[in-house]
A = this chain, B = another copy of it.
Amino acid sequence: MVGIKDVAKAAGVSVSTVSNALNGRKNVGEETRNKILQLCEEMQYFPNAAGKNLKSGTSNTILFNFSDFDRSFYLKIIEGINDYANANNFDLMICTNKSCEKYMRSNLTSGCITLDVKMGNEVMNRAANENYPIVVLDRVLDNPHIKSIVVNNYDPMVEMLQGVVDRGYRRFSFLGGLESTDDNSERYQAFLDVMEKNSIPFQRRNYYSGDYREKSGYTAAKIMTLSGEVPEVIVCANDNMAIGAIRAFHESGLRVPQDVAVTGFDDCDLAEAMGLTTVCIPNYERGYMAAQSLVDIIRGNSDMETLKISASIKWRKSVWDKRPRNMVK
């Protein structure tokens, strides 16, 4: 590995002159600078990030952390982050839960965006400080150096479910996601409130527990069909589980929506193709805004208020209108 020292020796100057030349400082003679730059080229010198960061303590790099490879919208979020970062001269580094703390707590990065159920609150609270801001998605933390960006789950869920009720559905089941997540609580609360508002009785045994993954939706739906407890509509806490459920119903010979309707949440790629009625979360924009917030904070413009972003409803064929005059459609 060729370092600044080797270049200095080759150029017959000191290391500081090389450093100055490379960093575009003006206290270097025209001739010297050219010679150094040319040598760097020839010798294939490349600055070592470790050494650089260690000294300067600054990196212009943002870290993104995730650990769930099942949900393709992560790519959209990364794309949003990447676009904002690139446009603002920040580098992007991505890691999974396992090595996240390592990169947060070593001036290799200037701040972190995290969207990872496996990431513990303690880890974030330990890492965040006035020099290291964190933006967390889908979770609200009470820490002056951590900004939250959450989706407004409640309102669109209420709106969608009221629409389902209005279309004539009465017998509901709910398929929940990870119960430790705020997302799941809010979506479930919205569900309960709509039930109550419309005086539709709901029994806890019609709540099925899932983990947001397709397989858990599949399993839940299998259980329903085997036990003969298939509802008129199954409301899922996310699309993946809804898709798993649809697959299970199809395998059991049940038609969606004729025999059972299904709703999701997220609007993932597959949702459109499968005709799933769902709530659309603007993921690219979420990533972009997260990066924007983080860079703002790094630059000292600290708005740490929780940001709530809104979502919209996509009506598709997994729910139809049960009311008589529309049956034909």
A contact residues vs B (CB 8 Å cutoff): 1, 44, 46-54, 61, 69-70, 72, 74-76, 78-79, 82, 86, 91-96, 98-99, 101-103, 105-108, 126, 131, 269-270, 273-274
Contacts and interface: CB of A to CB of B under 8 A. Distances in A.
A103 B49 contact: yes
Nearest to A284: B69
B91 A98 contact: yes
B105 A46 contact: yes
B95 A93 contact: yes
Nearest to A127: B46
6 contacts: A1-B107, A46-B126, A47-B106, A49-B108, A61-B99, A269-B269
Given A82-B69, A99-B61, A54 B50 contact: yes
B94 A94 contact: yes
Contact of A69 (B46, B78, B91): B78
B108 A50 contact: yes
Contacts of A52: 106
B94 A95 contact: yes
A48 B105 contact: yes
A273 B247 CA distance: 10
A79 to B, nearest CB: 4
A286 to B, nearest CB: 14
A152 to B, nearest CB: 25
A103 B91 CA distance: 11
A43 to B, nearest CB: 11
